[in-house]
Homo-oligomer: A and B are copies of this chain.
Amino acid sequence: MRQVAILGIGQTTIDEHWDKSLREIGGEAALTALNDAGLERADALFVGNMLAPMIDGQNQLGTFFADWIGLRGAEAVKVEAACSSGGAAFRSGVMAVASGEVESALVVGVEKMTDKAGHDVTAALATAADADYEIEQGVSFVGINALVMRRYMHEYGWKHSDFAPFSINAHANALHNPYARLHHKITAEAFEKSAMVATPINLLDASPIGDGAAAAVLVPAEAVVSSNGRARIVVAGSASATDTIAVHSRRDPLFLTAAYESSKQAYAQAGIEPKDVDVFELHDAFSIMAALSLEASGFAERGKGVQLGLDGGISPGGRIPVCTRGGLKARGHPVGATGMYQIVEVAQQLRGECGPTQVEGARVGLAQNIGGSGATIVTHVLRTA
């Protein structure tokens, strides 16, 4: 298979876009990416989305967006893997170009989820978990993550306040990202005093939902010398792995097997090790997930992910900068779009466009998108080449 390059990127602000439709949000990101790539169209369109059938009454988003953005006739399909829909759609686009099936692919992650009442959204998000054996018992999606966090604290002896650095770092970085949902600093004191959602997860452990879309244009790397004068970014590793859908079925609920497997495969494809990674856009839907991702992806030992935060290792100048554009916690989490925001943000880092949160000399970036409570995990390695 041939190597694939990212020729263009685009994103919308994440917000409660009550004045914009699903069409307009996805279309804005898609056309921005095509424009950034200097292309008028792409051969195929892959859309990542989780909630549109339930929230917007709209299925068949591949064709829906192809029609809207001027790609009528082109092959188009939607890929869904809960909150990892964006990463899964990106992987489909990578495979389509790598295989030679198409010469260009546009990938869009999109979600419009704030037009419904909160309980409708909570119910829709619960479809990421096991309907029969988790949700039917009355637990919500945040409730499942709360059980995991409590178990982690019990097992390794961490206090709730030890998780504060993840959220503080995310909010500090989002201040410099104009596309982010939240633009305010938080303190360790605010973190501890925040309203409880599902013990021990409080409001500042949890990421906010939002409306948004992010997109990228993929082409064969051999066709790109430089990307409009910027660094050429190639997809050096692409892998996806799964775990049980219900957390209670896992032998070890504190280890993200699918993160371990997909990152191992992606590192091998790229010929790198964790120490070679300059920036890591991870899936901090809840602060506990940041710790577990760092551990399973080879950046910390079991139970030590929290220590990395306490040591300052996750800031833009640290050993392994994470959430440099705000992460799910502060950039926001428009679920089916999140994986594509991660891809776009890693690309921005590799292009050197991140201002005060730029990781100096970033050449290798990791994007890891999680569906369910670690059930589907898609990991990509991007690098300049």
Cβ of A28 under 8 Å from chain B: no
CB distance from A101 to the nearest CB of B (A): 6
Cβ of A77 under 8 Å from chain B: yes
Q: Mark A28-63, 1 if CB is under 8 A from B, else 0.
A: 000000000000000000000011011011111111
Please, which residues of chain B bring their CB within 8 A of the CB of A371?
60, 63
Contact A132 B21 (CB under 8 A): yes
Contact A101 B57 (CB under 8 A): no
Contact A60 B75 (CB under 8 A): no
CB distance from A211 to the nearest CB of B (A): 16
Cβ of A95 under 8 Å from chain B: yes
Stoichiometry, copies per complex: 2
Q: How far does the alpha carbon of A51 sit from the alpha carbon of B56 in the complex, in Å? A: 14
CB distance from A95 to the nearest CB of B (A): 6
Please, which residues of chain B bring their CB within 8 A of the CB of A236?
none
CB distance from A236 to the nearest CB of B (A): 15
CB distance from A333 to the nearest CB of B (A): 16
Q: With A127-B57, A130-B64, A245-B63 in contact, is A73–B372 under 8 Å at CB?
A: no
Please, which residues of chain B bring their CB within 8 A of the CB of A246?
67
Which of B57, B80, B239, B249 touches A126 (beta carbons < 8 Å)?
Answer: B57
Please, which residues of chain B bring their CB within 8 A of the CB of A61?
80
Q: How far does the alpha carbon of A67 sit from the alpha carbon of B67 in the complex, in Å? A: 35
Q: With A1-B101, A75-B241, A249-B67 in contact, is A82–B96 under 8 Å at CB?
A: no
Which of B56, B239, B372 touches A131 (beta carbons < 8 Å)?
Answer: B56
Cβ of A357 under 8 Å from chain B: no
Please, which residues of chain B bring their CB within 8 A of the CB of A1?
99-101
Q: With A60-B371, A96-B95, A99-B98 in contact, is A242–B66 under 8 Å at CB?
A: yes
Q: With A1-B99, A127-B59, A375-B63 in contact, is A132–B244 under 8 Å at CB?
A: no
Q: Mark A219-245, 1 if CB is under 8 A from B, else 0.
A: 000000000000000000001111111
Which of B60, B96, B244 touches A372 (beta carbons < 8 Å)?
Answer: B60
Question: A residues engaging B (CB < 8 A)?
Answer: 1, 21, 23, 50-51, 53-54, 56-64, 66-67, 71-82, 88, 92, 95-96, 98-101, 123-124, 126-128, 130-132, 135, 239-246, 249, 257-258, 261, 371-372, 375-376
Given contacts A59-B82, A60-B245, A73-B257, 13 further A-B contacts (CB under 8 A): A1-B100, A53-B53, A58-B130, A60-B81, A60-B375, A60-B376, A66-B242, A72-B242, A72-B243, A73-B261, A75-B241, A80-B80, A99-B99
Cβ contacts A to B, 29 pairs, < 8 Å: A1-B100, A21-B132, A23-B132, A51-B53, A54-B54, A57-B126, A57-B127, A60-B375, A60-B376, A62-B376, A63-B242, A63-B245, A63-B371, A67-B242, A67-B375, A71-B242, A72-B242, A74-B241, A74-B242, A76-B81, A76-B240, A77-B88, A77-B240, A77-B376, A78-B79, A78-B80, A95-B95, A95-B101, A99-B99
